Structure 1
């Protein structure tokens, strides 16, 4: 291991073996201050806040990653190879592509299709970025026990938030059963698969792509407590 890394200025031992990864660094701060006992900020580089504390007696870290696959790829790589992280759980928002999904429903990404730069990682065929079954199973079982509105299936990690075709460009993905669209899961899964560690993408539906219904920015940052608590409970179970 090599610490500190280019984008995380934590010391050896500052980061727990399991890390929750919200895209928004302010969400990382909110979760740490709301749920963790004795949270300590270990990173402020580029405003990507990172915290470590304890939850039900288990050390957990929360690291903001920014938006998009390239940014996620940087933080996932440095956490895994620089700090020895073994379990990584993305907690983010997504746009629903299927009509049965509602605002604030939860989605677990079994696999993540992608449409951009990470095509370069293909090893001569078609590599499918896939979640860790152990994390997926644990999260799904906890969600069912809590009677949460949970869905598990394939998602899309898109490099483009704004496209010339708008929502119409996502209809072919909808027609193939893709549940929701976000931007980071494929990069996380690829980094984890290459390193032999575990990863899961857990999402809250923040907007309905084809109707325009959406949560407010404030709701995105602070109100998705079901996902936050599910991720923390999953972390405790797999620690």
Structure 2
């Protein structure tokens, strides 16, 4: 047990899917896993372990933002032996060719700062995805016929951003989408020799202000979960 995860030894699989929303963890586990069982609910952050095509999988919430994700990923890797960690979350598109409902596979993640900045200090570390997971996810997305983009994203420290000048520069430099967790996930995975990937569904668009209707979110997020599972066990 850890301060934030009450799971017992053996309750957490080596492969962990990481939605930000704990209720999405519950929905994904009940929808895609066989015999899911609740293994954590400390502070309302649900974690479930079950099987997918005979492979053991844990789906565990991380909360919003890099500091929250950092707590759970550190504990999952260091105390429970997680080796493959795939974020399944939403993102806002920053390029015209990226459409609502599309999937973005984050090759790299740009950020102003992360919880790891205290360790890295003056180093501008460039966190990136595990290539094997990235390639497998791209193949799975192509097989499903899902609109998919691979490239750099931006992990923001804040949800209510007031830096239009910064957004303009990221758009100019090809950043595909913005979310709040991936840079720290990739940094921690590198530090602990684990594999990591972010598979992101575009739920809204910063340029067009289009947003995914609530009734369509579950179906679109389902594609993302299936892509992540296929990639994990390719």
State the TM-score, normalized to the length of structure 2: 0.95
Secondary structure (helix, strand or coil) at the match of 1:224 reads helix
Cα distance in 1, alignment partners of residues 151 and 119 from structure 2:
22
Residue pairs, 1:1-239, within 5 angstroms: 4-118=1-115, 119-122=117-120, 124-165=122-163, 167=164, 169-217=166-214, 219-220=216-217, 223-237=220-234
Q: Any stretches of 5+ residues in structure 1 without a counterpart?
A: none
> Deviations for 1:161-181, whole angstroms, at most 9, x for unmatched residues?
11233x554111111110000
1:91, distance to aligned residue in structure 2 (A):
0.4
Moved more, 118-127 or 108-117: 118-127
Number of corresponding residues: 233
Cα distance in 1, alignment partners of residues 113 and 124 from structure 2:
14
1:145, distance to aligned residue in structure 2 (A):
2.3
Cα distance in 2, alignment partners of residues 21 and 189 from structure 1:
13
> Deviations for 1:47-95, whole angstroms, at most 9, x for unmatched residues?
1100000111111110000000001111110000010000000000000
Cα distance in 2, alignment partners of residues 121 and 205 from structure 1:
32
Q: In angstroms, what is the RMSD of aligned CA positions?
A: 1.5
Whether the 8 Å contact between 2:14 and 2:81 is mirrored in structure 1 is yes
Q: Any stretches of 5+ residues in structure 2 without a counterpart?
A: none
**Poorly superposed stretches of 4+, deviation over 6 Å:** none
Whether the 8 Å contact between 1:26 and 1:221 is mirrored in structure 2 is no
